[in-house]
Amino acid sequence: MSIVADSGGPFLGRLSLHSLPFWDMLQHPTMSNIINGIIATGAASLVVIGALVVIALLTKYKLWRPLWSDWVTSTDHKKIGIMYIVIALVMLTRALIEAVLMRAQQAVGLHGGFLSPDHFAQLFSTHGTIMIFFMAMPFLTGVINYVMPMQIGARDVSFPVLNSISLGLTAAGAALVMVSLVIGKFSTGGWFGYPPYTEATFSPGVGPDYWIWALSLAGLASTLTGINFAVTIYKERAPGMKLMRMPLFTWTALCTAILMIFAMPPLTVATSQLALDRYLGFHYFTNALGGNMMNFANLFWLFGHPEVYILILPAFGVYSEVIATFSGKALFGYRSLVMATMAIAILSFTVWLHHFFTMGQNANINAVFGIASMLIGIPTGVKIYDWMLTMFRGRVRFTTPMVYSIGFILLFVLGGMSGILLANPTIDYQVHNTVFLVAHFHNVAVPGVLFGMLTAYHFWFPKAFGFRLNERWGIISALCWIFGFMGAFFPLYALGIMGLPRRTVAYAQARYVPLEWVAFLGALLLLAALLALLWQLWISIRDRDANRVFVGDPWDGRSLEWSNSAPPPEYNFAVIPSVQGRDAFTMAKENHSAYERPDTYKDIELPKNSAMGLVIAALGFALAFGLVWHIWWLVIAALLAVIASMIVRGFARDTTRLVSAQEVRREHHRWIDAVAAATAVSRANECKTVNVGLAQHQANGVVP
């Protein structure tokens, strides 16, 4: 028994009964161990039961085959995009529950609370890691995947199988983080895992290894995705889609892709060096023998700061599309917005030192990086003014995406202001590492990134699934997110100024208690927002037949993704559109050239399904799991299998299939017939069931 409990031997590496979340509780049943054991076991059970329920449902409804052929082996950018977003929503649910647990702990955290320090530390580490790498990144990658190829009039991304592999690697990383709930413990070193704390000397367990390999998988996936998106935008644009005619969302996708290519490698290098330290006794970041932890900080933030803009730029793109569409007006200052986006992308590489003003570099360096950080405020300010000027002299419709957008601008201004405060080294010396900082980055990340992605979800959902989401529950959810955010994070600004450090499981100052409770109630409202979102999805699926928008243009959209059916055919366009200017679809509607029957159709070549994504996902997971637990035979076997699978794939010659011209014609005519039969709706009725996706034509100066 003791052998099993202590070590798994050569076959199981470091795996043992100690790795189970309830083992400590059974061995040492103290009150604290029992409470923390129950929470951890509950979470682990949710993961296991959730997986079992999914398997049971798939079996019951005989969905294994469609899951295989329509989804996991699909190379269709739209399917891959949707799968990314599913991952993001699952991970969002977990990380938000963790956030509520942390806020509950801190609310009762005067001299104690119910969570052990170690458990609390795992919560903030997984919360941060998940929200950045497995919620925000998959969400924005999914949205870009779905929307960008259609916006530029392409049939797919440049490398569809690579796209599927990127998804697989992301899923493997997410699975690794989920498995850490059931087997072993996650890192306690926070989402940026500074050594030497995360070195083997101070964190000998598997936690930092879970973190390292989950990030490595996600980082590799994002690098590949960046290359894929950039090449797609450079090479796959429809005729006439010049760079300065691209919709702003595509511009932000391009900048994000470039940032991914250049920013991910420093992360991979930093985590690899840390892995060398931990596994092979190197001394990159150790205290002793010439190691220097400041190098990790430099490398990490050389990735970490551009990462912030990888996350926010696509959200800026979404807001640009949404505000123009729901103001019934062309985007104001397109050229400025493109320049501002590019400026932000470049400046994002020049500010990383502001993450450690407090490490002791001299005043010149701090002042230069402080001013550089403030410079980013200039293009960001331009964007905000241009969005406001887009609403000016427009016809603003307060739909769910617009409620998010307005909430975003107002809250983001405050987040930007606290960012400018932090860019002052003299102020940063006072609020660095306090919950003021936590409030700041949530104030840009939640209204910025999360609201942006939820806006995108509401905006493009009808396109992806062919029916609109319930508007009433959408607004309720949006308001819960907005006010929940304010409740949860505004108190943290005050608490930070009152000296409360971040990552504090308990505290001794009674003065913190009232604001901690406000923050906890805010967190509960955020949880309610998520539940409202899920409820909205449920009733929208229930009422889907009444809300179909097959014609495909429910919001009077401006760019090409609205010019096909909803959901679109797998090849996106029966005939590749020819682009005459900016806002290509609005122009087509004005020239009466939308919804045409072309004279001839051609066969369309599409990539065949491929199991590579799934294979790489499984092998990547096995490799990482073996590395975490020191199961060396598994590591070697998985590594060899990865190489073998790539070689085998290299011999695949027959990788495309044809959709015949006849089939394209049949499909297209079915849709054009539906367009002809549809009644166009005015914008006043866009959220009613009469909206089947055909927008009333907008003449200059006349409200449709």
Residue 20: CB atoms within 10 A of its CB come to 19
Q: Is 598 in the site for other proteins (CB under 8 A)?
A: no
Closest CA to 659 of 602, 601, 604: 604
Minimum separation from the CB atom of position 513 to other proteins (A):
11
Distance set, CA 474 to CA 13, 487, 557 (Å): 49, 20, 19
Q: Is 213 in the site for other proteins (CB under 8 A)?
A: no
Minimum separation from the CB atom of position 427 to other proteins (A):
5
Q: Is 205 in the site for other proteins (CB under 8 A)?
A: no
For the four alpha carbons of 671, 323, 378 and 335, in that order, the dihedral sign comes to positive
Name which position in 153, 328, 447, 693 contacts other proteins (CB under 8 A): 328
Q: Is 410 in the site for other proteins (CB under 8 A)?
A: yes
Site string for other proteins, 216-255 (x = CB under 8 A): ----------------------------------------
Q: What are the DSSP calls for 115-164, one per residue?
A: S-HHHHHHHHHHHHHIIIIIIIHHHHHHHHHHHHHHHTT-SS-S-HHHHH
Name which position in 100, 494, 537, 672 contacts other proteins (CB under 8 A): 494
Distance set, CA 531 to CA 473, 489, 537 (Å): 10, 20, 10
Q: Is 591 in the site for other proteins (CB under 8 A)?
A: no
Q: How far apart are CA 672 and CA 565, in angstroms?
A: 9
Scan residues 151-170 and list those touching other proteins (CB under 8 A). Answer: none
Distance set, CA 577 to CA 120, 146, 232 (Å): 54, 18, 16
Minimum separation from the CB atom of position 114 to other proteins (A):
14
Scan residues 290-309 and list those touching other proteins (CB under 8 A). Answer: 293-294
Site string for other proteins, 458-487 (x = CB under 8 A): ----------------------------x-
Scan residues 640-659 and list those touching other proteins (CB under 8 A). Answer: none
Piece of the chain touching other proteins by CB under 8 A; list 71-79, 184-192, 523-531, 602-610: 184-192
Q: Is 612 in the site for other proteins (CB under 8 A)?
A: no
Minimum separation from the CB atom of position 381 to other proteins (A):
4
Toward other proteins, which CB reaches closer, 233 or 505?
505
Q: Is 1 in the site for other proteins (CB under 8 A)?
A: no
Residue 469: DSSP 8-state: P
For the four alpha carbons of 451, 455, 456 and 462, in that order, the dihedral sign comes to positive
Minimum separation from the CB atom of position 283 to other proteins (A):
9
**Is 510 exposed, middle or buried, given 0-12, 13-18 or 19+ CB atoms closer than 10 A?**
exposed
Site string for other proteins, 254-293 (x = CB under 8 A): --------------------------------xxxx---x
In 557-627, at which residue ranges do the beta strands (DSSP E only) sit?
Answer: 604-607
Q: Which tokens in the block code for residue 76? A: 């269709």
Distance set, CA 527 to CA 42, 238, 552 (Å): 18, 43, 32
Minimum separation from the CB atom of position 392 to other proteins (A):
5
Site string for other proteins, 421-440 (x = CB under 8 A): x-xxxxx-xx-xxx------
Toward other proteins, which CB reaches closer, 312 or 384?
384
Minimum separation from the CB atom of position 506 to other proteins (A):
5
Backbone angles phi, psi at 53, to 5 degrees: -65, -45
Nearest-10 crossing angle of helices 293-326, 137-151: 50
Q: Is 407 in the site for other proteins (CB under 8 A)?
A: no
Q: Which tokens in the block code for residue 678? A: 């549809």
Cβ pair 225, 254 in contact under 8 A: no
Toward other proteins, which CB reaches closer, 26 or 368?
368
Minimum separation from the CB atom of position 542 to other proteins (A):
28
Backbone angles phi, psi at 549, to 5 degrees: -130, 55
Scan residues 330-389 and list those touching other proteins (CB under 8 A). Answer: 330-336, 356, 358-360, 362-364, 366-367, 370-371, 374-375, 377-378, 380-382, 384-386, 388-389
Q: Which tokens in the block code for residue 673? A: 């017939």
Q: Which tokens in the block code for residue 470? A: 């319930």
Q: How far apart are CA 624 and CA 210, in angstroms?
A: 8
Scan residues 98-127 and list those touching other proteins (CB under 8 A). Answer: 116-118, 121
Site string for other proteins, 507-546 (x = CB under 8 A): xxxxx---x-------------------------------
Q: Is 498 in the site for other proteins (CB under 8 A)?
A: yes
Cβ pair 537, 570 in contact under 8 A: no
Cβ pair 683, 703 in contact under 8 A: yes
Strand partners, 695: 681
Size of interface with other proteins, in residues (CB under 8 A): 106
Q: Is 406 in the site for other proteins (CB under 8 A)?
A: yes
Piece of the chain touching other proteins by CB under 8 A; list 27-35, 76-84, 145-153, 391-399: 391-399
